[in-house]
Amino acid sequence: MRDYSFALIAMVGALGGLITTGCGPDYYVRRHSPSLVDFELYCSRDQAFDLALEFAQRNNLRVAVLEKSSGFVRFEMAHLDAGHLDRYCKFPLEDESGAPIVTYAEWVTDYAQQAEGEVLLTVLLSARGDSVTNVNIRGNWSATITQEGQPHTYQVASTNVLEDELRDALVTNTACEPKRSWALEDRMQKLKSLLDEGLIDSDDYETRRREILAEEQKF
């Protein structure tokens, strides 16, 4: 088993820190920016706000700040365990290529260390008329891991899983789709099926959805 005990931490450069170990290779801690997802919904800001709150309730996100009049809401999920951390964000210690040296689960089980994290998910809803809303989602992820029994907290990179799940919950909701013809309805249902079956990802779905709706608006 490789030894990941940490004897010295030396910060180098503006891009991150070099961690040198007493009896192992060197690893890096890099600074990561908050995740960002930005898109449009074809429904009112109030409708989008209610759908975002429904998503939070289904996913055990605590509402930390709620300002419906300004379209601002901040969700919080604290005390994330290793399993949740591996799903939602990346391990903070990386090799030279930027790949995590281990998973959170391996850090806990194989190296008898501890790992816990939290996320602040900020959603800003801006009306673009009566029936179009711009949605801006920012995720701030942090993880605290023990190294030789001492806790260290890091800002970590998101996997964008939670952010994409929120986006998918909004854009695929029938309340946030414009009125459309039978032919368009059929095309949208087929596109949704591709997403549900895993044949396209959420980015492809959103791109194709916009293209289809743009075509409809020409007629």
Q: Is 118 helix (H, G, I), strand (E, B) or coil?
A: strand
**Predicted pLDDT of residue 25:** 45
Half-sphere exposure of 62 (CA within 13 A, CB side): 9
CA distance 130 to 111: 55
| DSSP label of 176 | G
- Ordered mean pLDDT values, 10 residues apiece, the chain (219 residues): 37 41 63 92 92 95 94 95 97 92 95 95 92 94 93 96 94 72 76 90 88 69
**Predicted pLDDT of residue 203:** 87
Q: Which residues of 164-184 are buried (b: 16+ CB within 10 A; e: fewer)?
A: bebbbbbbbbeebbeebeeeb
**Residue 216 backbone zone (phi > 0: left; psi -120 to 50: alpha; other: beta):** alpha
Bridging pattern class, strands 93-94 and 133-147 = unpaired
Long-range CB contacts for residues 138-143, cutoff 8 Å, separation at least 24: 138/34, 138/35, 138/36, 139/34, 139/35, 139/163, 140/34, 141/32, 141/34, 141/35, 141/88, 141/89, 141/117, 142/117, 142/118, 143/80, 143/85, 143/89, 143/91, 143/92, 143/104, 143/115, 143/116, 143/117
Using the structure block, give the residue that is written with the tokens 């602040």: 120
**Predicted pLDDT of residue 172:** 86
**Predicted pLDDT of residue 17:** 52
